[in-house]
Amino acid sequence: MGNNISKEAAVTYTVLVLGTIIRIVFAPFSSGSDIPQFLGFANTMERHGFCFYMYATGDYWVEEKWPYPWTYVYPPLWGIMLYALKVLANGYVKTCFENSIHVVKVSMEWILAIKAVLILCDMVIAILIFIITKRSKYVLLYYLNPVTIYNSSIYGMFDNIALLFLILSICLCLKGRAYSASVFTSLSLIIKQTVLLAAIPLFFKTYFLLKRRSFKQLAIFFLAITVPVFGVFLPFITLCPKSLPSIVKCITMPTGIYYTEPICYSFNGLSSLLTYINKEYGYETLYLIRTVFLIFAISSFLVLCTTAYVMKKGFKEVFLPVFNSYLVFTALYWRVNYQYFVPAIGLGSLALSRIRHGILRILILLTIIYPSIWFFMFPITFWFHFHVFKPNMHLMKLLKIFSLNIYCDNLAYVVYSLGLTVLYIITLLCLTLNMVKEVKGSQAF
């Protein structure tokens, strides 16, 4: 047994070294459009402090000298982290128009500041996956996955920070530490609210970990959940009360429904298809995309009720309910972005470690692998020249060898996203039925 663990540790170490080298090679020479926008957010946080949200709606993007008029749609913790990074690495952004094209360039210092945090989070997540599963193959599925490499070292989005807090919460749940686990689950939500459906089963789990559920225990449990949230939001509300309407506007802005253009960045198959029909044939289909959102809302409620039921009936596993609930979001939310698959891959790797055989194991494995196909479809070399001052032409030539270079208007993206949505829905149904079946089977004995 000890020898096997040593071999697994050695393979894990190799995966970590290889994955880190790949990330370090990509990181300085690429940037997604959000990285320069993040510097705009950081500058606004520096200028306005706890009144940040009054200027974060996108209405003041010219005055605030943001590169884009995009709203800051997240809870405050990421903004605070951006401000801290700006203090440590004072980068810069330059904008201009070239032949009516809005060109935005960002300094390497700021690119590296953002990506250093994201790559470090990826490393810690990979190590935690090994600590939990004791198997290098699950580390490989996460750390060498093109999706996670793309998001932490090429484009630069922070969903893996929320995932890190979720996995830390899972680790604490496994040790029976309900209060500490609840704190980390709440921290994941004040990084990015997109992990809400994954967080709720963890709150269920920590609640059922309470032994007596006395008034004192329930009070501490409630405080463990609410104090991190209110502790971060409260200064922005109490020290700048006029910003409360702006906070509500920013946080709720993603619920506004629109056509999911460009289609190459949309991963809900139904929304992508309806957008394509509107764009190519002129038919009004927005009301159908609203129906997709309604289906998502109803499905979320049903899956969470089922999760509460199976956990109340003694379903001891935590990985499967958390992954299953997050599947609802990635399968059915009307606008799914590529970075949303980072938590799906991390949580899916943990869930896979608990499924030993059968069709369900194959399905979960496919949900982890399928999103990586997009990495080879999309011309990712775009991010290696569009926002950087000095493109690395040698690296771009190398990446073009592995890319199909399918551009955004291609119908292939609609077909791809439809396949992904169908796969995720099938996996969601099978996993939900499996949990209910397992609970009923245990009750029969």
3-state SS class at 411: coil
In angstroms, the CA 170 to CA 172 distance is 5
For residue 123, give both structure tokens.
Answer: 């490393």
| Residue 2: predicted pLDDT | 65
| Residue 97: predicted pLDDT | 87
Kindly tell me the sign of the dihedral angle through the C-alpha atoms of 326, 330, 334, 339: positive
- 112, 89 Cβ separation under 8 angstroms: yes
| Residue 340: predicted pLDDT | 98
| Residue 356: predicted pLDDT | 82
Q: How far apart are the first and last CA of the chain?
A: 32
In sequence order, what are the residues at sequence separation of 6 or more whose Cβ sits closer than 8 angstroms to the Cβ of residue 168?
128, 184
Q: How many CB atoms lie within 10 A of CB 10?
A: 11
Give the residue extent of every domain in the chain.
2-30+107-209+256-444
| CA 32 to mean position of chain CA atoms | 15
Number of H helices, E strands in the chain: 19, 2
Dihedral in degrees, nearest 10, Cα atoms 71, 76, 78, 80:
110
pTM for the predicted model, two decimal places = 0.96
For residue 319, give both structure tokens.
Answer: 């990985």
Residue type, 99: N
Kindly tell me the sign of the dihedral angle through the C-alpha atoms of 55, 59, 61, 62: negative
- 57, 249 Cβ separation under 8 angstroms: yes
User: Which parts of the chain sit beneath pLDDT 50?
Assistant: 445
| Residue 124: predicted pLDDT | 98
For residue 7, give both structure tokens.
Answer: 């071999």
For residue 229, give both structure tokens.
Answer: 């949230």
- The full length of the chain comes to 445
| Residue 46: predicted pLDDT | 96
| Residue 212: predicted pLDDT | 81
- 134, 174 Cβ separation under 8 angstroms: no
Tokens 């958390």 identify what position? 322
Kindly tell me the sign of the dihedral angle through the C-alpha atoms of 356, 434, 347, 316: negative
